[in-house]
Amino acid sequence: MKWREGQIDVMNYEKGILAVPSVPGAGKTTVITSKTVDLIVKGLNKNGKILIVTFTNSAVSNFKSKLKKLLEEKGMDSNCGWECKTLHSLANSIIRESPKDAYLDDDFEIIDDIEATDIIRNFSFEFFKMYENIFLRYLNIQKSNSQDYIEKVRKKWSDKFVSITKNIISYLKSKGIRYVQAQEILKNYNQIDELLKIIFNIYILYEKELIKKGKVDYDDIIIRAANLLESRNDILKRLQDRYVYIFEDEAQDSSLMQEKILFLLSQKHKNLVRVGDPNQAIMSTFTNSDHKLFRKFCERDDVKKIVIPVSSRNTKSILSLANYLVKWSNSNGINLSKEEVLVEQYIKPVDKDDPYQNPIVDDVGIYIKTYENEDVEMKNVIVNIKQAIKKYPNKTMALLLRYNFKIDKYINLLERENIPYQVIDRYRGESAQIIEKIGRIVEFISTPDKTKLIGLLNLVYDNQIEENEKKELDKYNIEEIFFPQNCSGIENLKINENLKEILVNIKNLFEYSTQKIDKFLLQIGEEFKFNLEELTILDYISTVSNKMFFENPYFTLENLAYELLKNKNSFNYFASIVFENKGYEPKKGYVTITTCHKAKGLEWDVVFIPHMTYLDYPGRFQDKFRGELYYLKDEYKNIETLYKSTIDYLMENKKIENSTNKMKREILSETLKLVYVAFTRAKERLFISTNGKEYNKSIYYKVVEDFLRGVN
């Protein structure tokens, strides 16, 4: 292996506290795994282990497969000397050392995000109903507003309050505020805003509900793990002895509690390596991560910093565009503070003698286009994708969007043009299709009719059902097809043999529908030849279903079908985790559609980034911001940010910053990093488009225009 600038220094590391800021495509996974194996081979981990903490389950799978392969190549036990975990699995294992000292039963469960949200939603709606007069005070309603408008914004406010409450509860937990402390705050601070008091009360009720269920949420296990390490010195010492070295991947997305746990575990040996890219810190919208933490860590006097600046991922033109964006943001092009703009960390292409050269294309490889309006833009993006697949059949492609709600619009357009696609999204794509397939099977068996049968066949049959086959099926009712009394029945149908086989599979399921739910579900897997991932999901559905039937004797297969087919259900959530473990592999000849956030850590040969407008990618304080709640009074338009500032004031005596200014600064800073991430996903070609008049363009579209003018 030929190591590059920065990588060489990391590979020479043997002890101490180390920060490794790395550019996109710097090969940090390769460096972390290679360094881990090097330490094991040299025996520097002694009798302990090297712990790698990373962000997602798919990253854990990637690290594990690479580590095992490298150790096997060295002729060593591939499972010895290391552990790789997500932060949540690490926290879970810490709590399992002594659940009672974390105030939990031995058999505690971690509640999934869907169920947790449902609990918060129910309490939120109850409070909204009880104190509607308080909630309505926050609405910006004028005498001239119609009753329809008032009802519309009332509904919006009721729904939005659920997500605000959920985020504030998560924020309280990130600050280490337990529900008992929340009760004390309510007693001691009468001046708290009335709505924030309601949120505190929902938090208390939510925690009591979790205790009653014997469950904890994901935020909770982090806090309880940190508290356990602080309160039980013997457990801390045992874990410190176990982990001689700790490597943290994606350190730019670390939270205060994550940092606390890793600092505690590394106190004894003081061998902590934190690897990340501060310019790719884009998770603060969805998590309690704090992009400032890794930056501060890199600047600490007791921390050695090694930058890995070289990347072979992109063409030199795309690298130059990314560097241009870094320079532009630091020359006050965006009017943010030094800690809010991109770190001046410029990407270098590889040396001429490097075995893995940067890609080369026959032109600049960066293309921009302005369309008349959004509809015209979407249609043209689809045309361009179709042409690109035809022109570059052996290349991987992606369509990156800022917001989830646009994914379905593009899926409809892609399907209309018969363009093959993949989706990276928790509630769409392959994992969601499996849940839908199981749901449609259960739905048909529970309440069979012809419409459901045709819908199910379209879902499970690999080929298109021909018109003559549809007409043949239309001749008979459900009883005549599956329970014939005469010469009709499946065997006598004039249809494809594969289609007949599926009908036989479905018929067999009717025989199991009166048996125990787990036997019925197991038979679905048998009849439809489920693979390992599908069987894992089916087993989970079986476990949950058994519990549902036990708790409610009136629960039926029809109820189960309803639960499976609900939008954003816990089955979808579990299925997405299973497929995350499996990992994502882009297919050539397909386009992957996802958001810029979910694209982090991935790469494609060709990338399309449409809708580069000021609304999707704001870059100036005067731009419109989707985060602002237009239907609330001016002082509450950024109510979530306001309440977070209030909590900071209550706990840390921090000055309450203007909520609108704070919210805009946070969005502008994250959008800047998001654009940087999006640009650097493209290896060879990058298509960027916008729509409307000049004022509608995002400042980032204009940055690309300026860059291309300089290139040309």
Please state whether beta strands 366-371 and 397-401 pair in parallel, antiparallel, or not at all (unpaired): unpaired
Question: Does the annotation place 312 within a ligand binding site?
Answer: no
Please check whether residue 358 lies inside any domain of the structure.
Answer: no
Same domain, 408 and 488: no
Q: How far is C-alpha 285 from the geometric centre of its chain's CA atoms?
A: 11
Asked whether residue 554 falls in the same domain as residue 443, the answer is: yes
Q: Which residues contact 393 (CB under 8 A, 6 or more apart)?
A: 588, 589
- pLDDT tens string 653-680: 666 667 778 888 888 999 999 999 999 9
Is the residue at 183 inside a domain?
Answer: yes
* Ligand-binding site membership of 627 (annotated): no
Given 213, 241, 266, the domain boundary residue is 213
Q: Identify whether 628 is part of a domain.
A: yes
Question: What is the mean pLDDT of the segment spanning 223-235?
Answer: 95
Domain around 93:
7-98+222-305
At 187 the pLDDT is: 87
Q: Check whether 255 is labelled as a binding-site residue.
A: no
pLDDT at 415: 92
pLDDT digits (tens, 9 = 90+) for 490-532: 888 889 999 999 999 999 999 898 888 889 999 999 999 998 8
Residue with tokens 């090097």: 38
Q: Are residues 300 and 447 in the same domain?
A: no
pLDDT at position 463, please? 83
75 labeled binding residue = no
- Euclidean distance between CA atoms 366 and 383, whole angstroms: 17
**What pLDDT sits at residue 11?**
97
Span between the terminal Cα atoms of the chain, in Å: 37
Cα atoms in the 13 Å half-sphere on the side-chain side of 285: 21
Q: Based on the fold, state whether residues 489 and 568 are members of the same structural domain.
A: yes
Boundary residue ending a domain (188, 213, 238): 213
- Across the chain, mean pLDDT equals 91
91 in a known ligand binding site: no
Q: Tell me the CATH number at 705.
A: 3.40.50.300
Both 472 and 399 in one domain: the answer is: no
Provide the token pair at 9.
């220094």
Q: Which residue is listed with tokens 């329970």?
A: 483
Pair (635, 507) in one structural domain: no
pLDDT digits (tens, 9 = 90+) for 592-638: 999 999 999 999 999 999 999 999 999 998 887 776 788 999 889 88
Q: Determine, yes or no, domain membership for 609.
A: yes
Length of the chain (residues): 712
Q: Is 446 in the same domain as 477?
A: yes
Backbone angles phi, psi at 286, to 5 degrees: -105, -15
Place of tokens 């249609």: 379
Under 8 Å between Cβ of 678 and 686: no
CB atoms within 10 A of CB 235: 17
Q: What angle do CA 127, 129, 131 make, to 5 degrees?
A: 65
Residue 582 has pLDDT above 80, yes or no: no
For the segment 536-547, the average pLDDT, to the nearest whole number, is 88
Q: Is 27 annotated as a binding residue?
A: yes
The verdict on whether residue 180 carries a ligand-binding annotation is no
Closest CA to 637 of 608, 614, 659: 659
Q: In terms of domains, do 491 and 564 share one? A: yes
CA 389, CA 587: separation in Å to the nearest integer?
11
Instruction: With residue 570 as reference, give the H or E element that holds it.
Output: helix 570-582
Reported confidence tier of residue 334, pLDDT bands at 50, 70, 90:
confident
Q: What is the pTM of this model?
A: 0.85
Domain count, the chain: 4
16 a known binding residue? no
Query: Alpha carbon of 14 to those of 36, 38, 42, 45, 271: distances in Å?
Result: 10, 9, 10, 10, 8
pLDDT at position 581, please? 64
Q: What is the mean pLDDT of residues 337-353?
A: 94
- Position 634 scores a pLDDT of 87
DSSP notation for 356-408: SPPP--SS--EEEEEESSHHHHHHHHHHHHHHHHHH-TTS-EEEEES-GGGHH
Q: Looking at the predicted structure, is the pLDDT value of residue 372 above 70? A: yes
Quick check: 382 and 420 in contact, CB under 8 A? no
Residue holding tokens 């390769």? 30
Query: Do both 133 and 91 map to the same domain?
Result: no
Residue 548 identity (one-letter amino acid): M
pLDDT of residue 361: 96
pLDDT at 685: 98
Over range 109-135, report the average pLDDT.
91
Report how far residue 692's alpha carbon sits from residue 371's, in angstroms, rounded to the nearest whole number.
6
pLDDT at 427: 67
> What token pair was written down for 378?
């979407």
Above 70 in pLDDT, residue 487?
A: no
- How much is the pLDDT for 161? 95
* Same domain for 547 and 438: yes
> Last residue of a domain, which of 179, 213, 247?
213
Question: Which residues does 188 contact at the CB level (< 8 Å), separation at least 6?
Answer: none
Paired with 153 in beta bridges are: none
Render pLDDT for 177-199 as a digit per residue (tens, 0 to 9).
888 888 998 888 878 899 999 99
Residue whose C-alpha is closest to residue 623's, from 531, 673, 533, 698:
698
Residue 342 · residue 330 · CB < 8 Å: yes
Q: Would you say residue 344 lies in a domain?
A: no
Q: Name the pLDDT band for 377 (thresholds 50, 70, 90).
A: very high
pLDDT at 210: 93
Cβ atoms within 10 A of the Cβ of 8, count?
A: 13
**What is the per-residue DSSP string for 103-145?**
T--TT-EEPPHHHHHHHHHHHHHHHHHHTHHHHHTTB---TT-
pLDDT class for 9, splitting at 50, 70, 90? Answer: very high
- Categorize the per-residue pLDDT at 174 as very low, low, confident or very high, splitting at 50, 70 and 90: confident
534 and 676 within one domain: no
Residues 203-226, mean pLDDT to the nearest whole number: 92
Tell how many helices (H) and how many strands (E) occur in the chain. 28, 14
CB-based contacts of 697: which residues, under 8 Å, 6+ apart? Answer: 370, 612, 613, 614, 690
Q: Is 350 among the domain residues?
A: no
Same domain for 235 and 94: yes
Q: How confident is the model at residue 85 (pLDDT cuts 50, 70, 90)?
A: very high
Of all residues in the chain, the percent with pLDDT exceeding 90 is 67
Residue 662 exposed, middle or buried by CB count within 10 Å (0-12, 13-18, 19+): middle
pLDDT, position 621: 86
Whether the per-residue pLDDT at 238 is higher than 90: the answer is yes
pLDDT the model gives residue 222: 92
Element (H, E) at 20: strand 17-21
331 occurs within a structural domain: no
Q: Write the single-letter amino acid at 21.
A: P
Confidence of residue 547 (pLDDT cuts 50, 70, 90): confident
The arithmetic mean of pLDDT across residues 369-380, rounded, is 97
User: What is the rounded distance in angstroms from the CA atom of residue 99 to the CA atom of residue 225?
Assistant: 10
Residue 489 lies in a domain: yes
Residues 295-318: tens digit of each pLDDT: 999 999 999 999 999 999 999 999
- pLDDT computed for residue 112 by the predictor: 83
**36 has a pLDDT exceeding 90:** yes
- Min mean pLDDT across 150-159, 414-423, 478-487 is at 478-487
